[in-house]
Amino acid sequence: MMPDIDAKGLGQSEAPQSPEPAARPSVTKKKFDVIAYGINSFDEHLSLKPPGLLIASAVFLSRDYLLPLVLGLMSMTGTNSNLPWSAADRPAYWYLYGIPSVLMLYGWARRIPSGDAIARWAWTNGRWLLVAAAGLQCFSIIHENGMEAIGPGARSWTTAPLLITLAAIVVYLLFDRKVRDAVLDFPDALVRER
């Protein structure tokens, strides 16, 4: 009896192989100390979950985009949305200051292994995008109101608390270790091992 001969002429044909599995995410490739965080600090892609205050800061800094969206949705559902806010309260250039934080929120929403290059860039630079958005908003408030924005003769009772909030966000973004580590950790793209 003759053995089966395959195309390579090895004498026996190899059994068909199953498709190669997708690469698994690895904890060993992280750019930070993984042991400093508990198992519950990681999501299903083995990426560090972003702190809630980071996302809240991004939502606050993009309020000029999100608030009209929420009010529009509320009016479509018939909910009374008579809040003391209108687009006429802000100059048009204020909408430019929210773009960095909207980009960061896009990166957060697309923080999955199949996330595109823009989402990866926006997330990994998200901390600096939010610092830029907060700094631009601080500059705009001081530019519009002068130094009276922070003194006892402030033109509006909301300027000093807003400046303090923006400064607190900047300090948090710059000095919190988990924020730094979370923005460095975007899920690896799933590629097949060869």
Q: What is the mean pLDDT of residues 119-140?
A: 92
Q: Is residue 194 part of a domain?
A: no
Residue type, 194: R
Eight-state DSSP code of residue 55: H
Question: Could you tell me the residue range of the domain that residue 96 belongs to?
Answer: 51-75+91-184
Q: Is residue 19 part of a domain?
A: no
Is 48 strand, coil or helix?
strand
Q: Is residue 97 part of a domain?
A: yes
Q: Is residue 13 part of a domain?
A: no
Q: Is residue 110 part of a domain?
A: yes
Q: Is residue 193 part of a domain?
A: no
pTM summary value: 0.72
> Residue 192 — very low, low, confident or very high, per pLDDT cuts 50/70/90?
very low
Q: Is the pLDDT of residue 188 over 90?
A: no
For the stretch 45-68, pLDDT in tens is 888 899 999 999 999 999 888 877
Max Cα separation, the chain? Answer: 103
Q: Is the pLDDT of residue 113 over 60?
A: yes
> Residue 176 — very low, low, confident or very high, per pLDDT cuts 50/70/90?
very high
Q: Is residue 105 part of a domain?
A: yes
End-to-end CA distance of the chain: 36
Q: Which two tokens stand for residue 33?
A: 């100390």
Q: How many domains in the chain? A: 1
Q: Is the pLDDT of residue 165 over 90?
A: yes
- Residue 187 near residue 13, CB atoms below 8 Å: no
